[in-house]
Structure 1
């Protein structure tokens, strides 16, 4: 069977990059180079950043219902008072460590989606995270994730495009598992520059004339090598420009979001990023005991890191292209336990952050007087959030990942 020119380009350019660069350069650079060889920069493409809060975030102490008597009675030691929170209206306030989020909320760059979850969660970590990642609650056989299925089925300018990346050191999440697409893991952008084993820059190939429509193996390899070299130089320029750019706080999450920003600036065609908070260091958001300090530290890391990320994107005039969403596998119980912690709950708020949001609150706050086994009942199914970021935001068909019955939320301008 005859091989298409596009398939041939993909295989040849991938091999050319291995020959031209150090073995440390990941495959995504060669794939991006192949795309760059035939298409212009897609500067108007929107980008989604998905942030997992591992362990089950306590939504009640994140977005605090300060005037609710049920909250006050249920949390003898964990309660946050009206004097402690960062108020944004008469009923609610942010946790005091979330100054960055409060500023973004005031600027209209952060929305709170209230009461997000799904029916009949069994509140088990492994099961719940599988449900959120697969977007098929109850299906224990599903081996692909909602983002992986999206990547498999979206129409891409070139088959060599890599539209998604995992940034950080966590194990590959089910959410990005795909049937046919390879979604790479990235730790930092510096590894994507053209260096020899000694760390020295590799010279750019000579600019000998190569026919633009040449079909010989030599022509294809030469164009691919040169395109990959140009792509690497773009990465080098981003690194140089960022050396004098605004600062990020000294958190792991902040470093990963800075890498995401750099990848967006380098315009490698990546549309979806996945990052995580809570999987190391602090022990995650699963605070069954002594919650106060641990939860505060995690919320501070999230708030300051995301605020720095938004400021960076705004400075680079990229914020209008980027939407960040958070999620956690479940919320926590309303009543604190006997160890100054909380147990597995159900609904919780999530956050949307970006430059094209309506701002404010989306949805109602689940009643604390009508609970399901001491947990807030979900009012917005998480798959409606997925439909929003896949459809109206990214411009993909959400039906490739979730059932079409879940309609997008009206949160974008």
Structure 2
């Protein structure tokens, strides 16, 4: 008997884009096959071009329906009724006017974001969340008519899924890492990885063959100061050593992971290159707030400024920042009043730095979080939910728009007929835009081929036809192609 013919890569990808990849081993097989074949010409940017993607992860689940609020009178009245004591008053909001929509507002502590939005340099993606396949109604959830993400309201599961793009299975490989596996060859100096983390090890930047380069807000970590154990009265040295440990101690379950020692050698080789490239000061007049996010975005700006240094020559980079403390089961109003202004001020300073460097069209920043939160109050806070609103900032962004479908904020009663099909209870909204669509848009902008999207996002075929020329969401300026 003749053996059955082997399925080629084109057939594999055809299956993946039509039905979604149902197992991580198959996804890894496809990715390794793609790597073995080499990267298509279309992935390579024009000589000298540069792009960077910055992920600002608000860990804990940001209450984003107080970050983006409808202002059309009837919609705002519904917001007030549903949010009850969690609602923001007129005085606590900054109005914005998105193109083609009724008026909206952002949280009053975010004036810099409002200005970026009004100037066309920022946009929102409304009600985005983890999905395996499209879900349209509360009945489909309650009657298990559709496949739902694992651990839907779990912090650990949803953080992982936002970073992996794999809501149907648990994985230690991120969609940013899979993207880097495919395009990191674009950078001519492989010693310094294209993925740079300001907050240590993370899943988003971990790939089959690549991992992040962990730095601190002060820059690269010099291993000459590394100590293997805690030392009393050596807080700076201990902090630097912890950053090194985070960089070196990776999950080695993937097939092509390097050994600990080779990672340590890579870090030592990369230090001198990175430190030299990021040594120059930022342009005069650029000032960052001395806050958690401000310090980190300042270091990202310095790295972007040094990308073209002769010893670095980076043409594609990703950056990861994670700021925790957004799990506001109580005192959500006070918590956001303290934290959202720090996010807004840091992003405003970051965009000003990009303009000063002439790099605003080369960088896109996006926010992410575990999930949205309940629209209704638990008396002093809000609880875990599903769909959320996320911010996109960059000169290439077709700004002053809200992409996706901002849901009706009507909340279903505890009993009786459904009045809002998207509300699964207490204002837990079914996402109307999938994370896959958002991530695919960002991956295409950074340099991925449409044909490779199923390798990066195994369920993308359930939301987007990769053979079409249109973008999944369309949030970038149309002349980008």
Q: TM-score range by the shorter chain?
A: 0.7 to 0.9
Q: 1:235/1:361 Cα in 2 relative to 1: closer, same or farther (>3 Å)? A: same
1:50 corresponds, among 55, 76, 87, to: 55
**2:84 counterpart SS class:** coil
Residue 296 of structure 1 deviates from its aligned partner by 1.5
Match of 1:409 in 2: 473
When structure 1 is superposed on structure 2, of 265-274 and 328-337 the one drifting more is 265-274
1:334-358 CA-partner distances (Å, limit 9, x unpaired): 11112x1001111111111001111
1:59-117 CA-partner distances (Å, limit 9, x unpaired): 11110124333321122322112343111135421110000100100111100111101
CA RMSD of aligned residues (A): 2.7
Contact 1:123–1:330 under 8 Å retained in 2: yes
State how far apart, in whole Å, the 2-side matches of 1:260 and 1:373 are: 40
Match of 2:414 in 1: none
Scaled by the length of structure 1, what TM-score is found?
Answer: 0.74
- Is 1:60–2:124 an aligned residue pair? no
Residue 276 of structure 1 deviates from its aligned partner by 1.4
Contact 2:110–2:341 under 8 Å retained in 1: yes
Residue 149 of structure 1 deviates from its aligned partner by 1.5
Residue 393 of structure 1 deviates from its aligned partner by 3.6
- Is 1:72–2:80 an aligned residue pair? yes
1:102 corresponds, among 106, 114, 118, to: 114
Match of 2:322 in 1: 276
Match of 1:262 in 2: 302
**1:73 counterpart SS class:** helix
Contact 1:57–1:332 under 8 Å retained in 2: yes
**1:116 counterpart SS class:** strand
- Is 1:380–2:450 an aligned residue pair? no
- Is 1:400–2:455 an aligned residue pair? yes
Contact 2:183–2:448 under 8 Å retained in 1: no
Q: 1:263/1:125 Cα in 2 relative to 1: closer, same or farther (>3 Å)? A: same
Match of 2:395 in 1: 355
Contact 2:184–2:194 under 8 Å retained in 1: no
Match of 1:167 in 2: 198
- Is 1:248–2:288 an aligned residue pair? yes
Contact 1:145–1:178 under 8 Å retained in 2: yes
State how far apart, in whole Å, the 2-side matches of 1:231 and 1:295 are: 35
Match of 1:127 in 2: 157
Match of 1:17 in 2: none
State how far apart, in whole Å, the 1-side matches of 2:201 and 2:221 are: 20
Match of 1:93 in 2: 105
Contact 1:367–1:376 under 8 Å retained in 2: no
State how far apart, in whole Å, the 1-side matches of 2:318 and 2:273 are: 23
The correspondence of residues 94-243 of structure 1 with structure 2, limited to 5 A, is: 94-119=106-131, 120-121=148-149, 122-140=152-170, 142-154=171-183, 156-157=185-186, 158=188, 159-160=190-191, 162-168=193-199, 171-191=200-220, 233-236=276-279, 238=280, 241-242=281-282
**1:242 counterpart SS class:** coil
Contact 2:82–2:409 under 8 Å retained in 1: no
**1:50 counterpart SS class:** strand
Scaled by the length of structure 2, what TM-score is found?
Answer: 0.64
State how far apart, in whole Å, the 1-side matches of 2:63 and 2:118 are: 22
Residue 395 of structure 1 deviates from its aligned partner by 4.0
**1:156 counterpart SS class:** helix
Contact 2:52–2:363 under 8 Å retained in 1: yes
Match of 1:368 in 2: 409
When structure 1 is superposed on structure 2, of 90-99 and 402-411 the one drifting more is 402-411
State how far apart, in whole Å, the 2-side matches of 1:231 and 1:74 are: 50
Residue 196 of structure 1 deviates from its aligned partner by 10
Match of 1:29 in 2: none
**1:271 counterpart SS class:** strand
Contact 2:220–2:274 under 8 Å retained in 1: no
Q: 1:312/1:75 Cα in 2 relative to 1: closer, same or farther (>3 Å)? A: same
State how far apart, in whole Å, the 1-side matches of 2:163 and 2:391 are: 17
